[in-house]
């Protein structure tokens, strides 16, 4: 069984397009788990109007007191992952769109590994390709040390076996992105593979939550604090 975990918050602009790119690729007994972090727009209404029984909406009620913007996103994804029933779990953002062969490509790659990271097209709000390869801008490095300083993992390009998710629980409370944490756990304990083939359109627009693949404009204080929490979580992982 496949579970696709999606974290939403005020995603009415693109959520239908994203779900419609996923649904044709999964089976009748697969699922999409949407964890919503209190959307105040039409996100939930749009999802419910699609009327597909494979989509299950759960509410994110664990309201973390965030030290970083990524904290709310990370724990929203954690909520979706906890609700997922599948043996194979994909991550998906609310505003991207999958290529038609994403599931086929990833399932083939997972035949001999536990976590897969694929390439993607970097696109604008209308899905016009801005950069033909995310990995060309940020090469994948399956090293814990390298990822402490600059993450190689992009959640929406990741899929994994259930055992990776189980080994990752609970997520660090603060300061570590969901994708980086899953990636670090996978490097430490499992088999990781990178597929240099785009499997989705990574949409960059004004309301995007993260700057992955774009110029980092975060303050020096943020960069130091963020890496401190990542290092702390990594040390705990290495000692586990």
172-210 pLDDT, tens digit each: 988 899 999 999 999 999 999 999 999 999 999 765 545
| Strands annotated E in the chain | 2-8, 31-36, 55-59, 88-93, 97-98, 115-123, 129-131, 158-161, 192-203
Query: Please, which residues have CB within 8 angstroms of residue 224's CB and are 6 or more apart in sequence?
Result: none
Residue 214: what pLDDT? 52
d(CA 5, CA 133): 23
Q: Is the dihedral of CA 111, 200, 152, 75 positive or negative?
A: negative
d(CA 117, CA 19): 20
Residue 3 has pLDDT above 80, yes or no: yes
Poorest-confidence range of 69-78, 110-119, 159-168? 69-78
Residue 211 has pLDDT above 80, yes or no: no
| Residue (of 55, 61, 8) closest to 28 by Cα position | 55
Helix axes 178-189, 69-83, angle to 10 degrees: 60
Return mean pLDDT, the chain. 92
Mean pLDDT across 77-97 = 98
**What is the pLDDT confidence band of residue 229, given thresholds at 50, 70 and 90?**
confident
| Residue (of 15, 39, 28, 23) closest to 90 by Cα position | 23
Homologous superfamily assigned to 2-238:
Spore Coat Polysaccharide Biosynthesis Protein SpsA; Chain A (3.90.550.10)
Backbone φ, ψ for residue 48 (5° rounding): -65, -35
Residue 164: what pLDDT? 98
Residue 101 has pLDDT above 90, yes or no: yes
Between 141 and 69, the more confident residue is: 141
Residue 73: what pLDDT? 94
Residue 207: what pLDDT? 59
Residue 226 has pLDDT above 70, yes or no: yes
Mean pLDDT across 116-122 = 98
**What is the pLDDT confidence band of residue 216, given thresholds at 50, 70 and 90?**
low
Residue 208: what pLDDT? 55
Query: Please, which residues have CB within 8 angstroms of residue 137's CB and are 6 or more apart in sequence?
Result: 122, 131, 213
Q: Considering the entire predicted model, what is its pTM? A: 0.92
Q: Domains of the chain: which residue ranges?
A: 2-238
Token pair listed for 18: 């994203």
Residue 137 has pLDDT above 90, yes or no: yes
Residue 68: what pLDDT? 76
**What is the pLDDT confidence band of residue 67, given thresholds at 50, 70 and 90?**
confident
Mean pLDDT across 72-90 = 97
Residue 61: what pLDDT? 85
Residue 159: what pLDDT? 98
């Amino acid at each position: 069984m496949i579970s696709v975990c999606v974290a939403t918050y005020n995603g009415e602009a693109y959520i239908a397009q994203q779900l419609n790119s996923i649904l044709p690729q999964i089976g009748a007994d697969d699922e999409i788990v949407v964890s919503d972090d209190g959307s105040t727009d039409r996100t939930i209404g749009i999802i419910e109007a699609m009327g597909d029984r494979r989509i299950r909406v759960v509410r994110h009620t664990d309201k973390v007191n965030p030290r970083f913007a990524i904290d709310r996103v990370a724990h929203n994804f954690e909520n979706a992952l906890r609700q997922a029933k599948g043996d194979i779990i994909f991550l998906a953002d609310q505003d991207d769109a999958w290529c038609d062969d994403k599931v086929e490509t990833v399932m083939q790659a997972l035949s001999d590994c536990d976590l897969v990271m694929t390439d993607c097209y970097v696109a604008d709000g209308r899905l016009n390709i801005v950069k033909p390869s995310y990995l060309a801008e940020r090469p994948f490095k399956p090293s814990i040390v390298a990822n402490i300083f600059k993450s190689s993992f992009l959640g929406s390009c990741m899929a994994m076996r259930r055992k990776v998710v189980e080994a990752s629980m609970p997520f660090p409370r603060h300061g570590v992105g969901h994708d980086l944490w899953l990636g670090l756990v996978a490097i430490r304990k499992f088999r990781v593979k990178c597929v240099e083939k785009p499997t989705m359109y990574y949409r960059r627009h004004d309301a995007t939550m993260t700057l992955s693949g774009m110029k980092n404009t975060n303050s020096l204080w943020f960069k130091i604090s963020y890496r401190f929490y990542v290092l702390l979580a990594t040390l705990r992982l290495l000692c586990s």
